[in-house]
Amino acid sequence: MKRLFRYLYDCRYVWAWGVLCALSFGVVFALYGIRMEAVWYPLLLSGAFGAVFFVAGFLKHKSKHEELRNIDFTEGVFPDILDALPKADSLMEADYQEMLVQMEKAIREERKKREDARRDLEDYYAVWVHQIKAPIAVMKVMLQQEDTQENRELASELFRVEQYAEMALSYIRLGEGASDLVIQEYDLDEIIRKAVRKYAGQFIRRKLRLVYEGTSEKVLTDEKWLSFIIEQLLSNAVKYTSEGTVTITVEKGKQLVIADTGIGIAPEDLPRIFEKGYTGYNGRMDRKSTGIGLYLCRKAADMLGHRLMVRSEPGRGSRFIVDLESYDLQTE
């Protein structure tokens, strides 16, 4: 009914014209002394014809309205306007369609510019990361030539530089969704041990005890991005644990748990720690947190179909849980 009343309103000038015409005929016939019966008959015929044209016009209006509503403008989809729009029935509709065509052209050009800029930025970061690895590797070799406390400290800081460079590249790759996924079954134990070996020096330097007894589980995932998640969680565990233990376990249901005995997370920060740029109380105290690491972990986990959860108490440590069975993927 709402659409019918809207159509009646759109045709208001036609109704006004019809009423004025009927009144004009009635006045003229009355002035010439013609009997009013001669007016009613043509008015009834005109009304019948008008009803037929009204119904036909309303059905066409309804069809065009539904056709316009069914045009798919979902995110990432922008159809060809000329092919998607119904044929214009008036000069004004044609003008509006021409305006839409020009707008579509401008949007496509702007989107292309943004896409080109994004690709250039991604290429720059990729080249920068690969170039920075060369001096980092040289500095590593130089620091290994003499085993001193100063060189060990410098090697630790150099390791952090390397991790931040890798994080920058991961940030760009995840920005538009990674396209280099290799989803298949992997040995979870091998992925965990690689991450542990990578951070072994950090555990030794901080004098932290690592507990991991191994697992025989196989998981359906992408090795590179799951390794990224584990490494980021280990990095946070090392950063916020001054003494004690970091424990890695695989619980029932393929739930990978990385727990530490560090400073923990404040209850008010827990709902927001995976937000981009959010550092929380610990980050503000540490003054070195970027609020990017856990955000990237959550984004990578979502991309893989894994669930990332956290439980923590201030002063008693944190438990990060990666649910590796919470997705509907099948191996090829």
Tens-of-pLDDT digits for all 332 residues of the chain?
Answer: 777 777 777 777 787 888 888 788 778 877 877 777 777 777 788 888 888 887 888 888 787 777 777 776 655 555 566 667 777 777 777 888 788 888 888 888 998 898 888 888 878 877 888 888 888 888 888 888 888 888 888 888 888 888 888 888 788 777 655 566 788 899 999 999 999 999 988 898 888 999 999 999 999 999 999 999 999 999 999 988 988 999 999 998 899 999 999 998 888 888 888 888 777 666 555 555 667 889 999 999 998 989 999 999 888 899 999 999 855 545 45
Q: What is the pTM of this model?
A: 0.63
The total number of residues written for the chain in this structure: 332
What are the two backbone dihedrals, phi and then psi, of residue 39, each rounded to the nearest 5 degrees?
-90, -40
Extended strands (E) in 188-236:
209-212, 218-222
Q: How far apart are CA 246 and CA 132, in angstroms?
A: 31
> To 10 degrees, what angle do helices 223-239 and 188-198 make?
40
Bridge partner residues of 212 (DSSP): 248
Residue 165's alpha-carbon distances to 130, 143, 189, 256, 285, in angstroms, are 9, 19, 26, 26, 24
Q: Is the four-CA dihedral 16, 21, 22, 23 of positive or negative sign?
A: positive
Is residue 312 exposed (0-12), middle (13-18) or buried (19+ Cβ within 10 Å)? buried
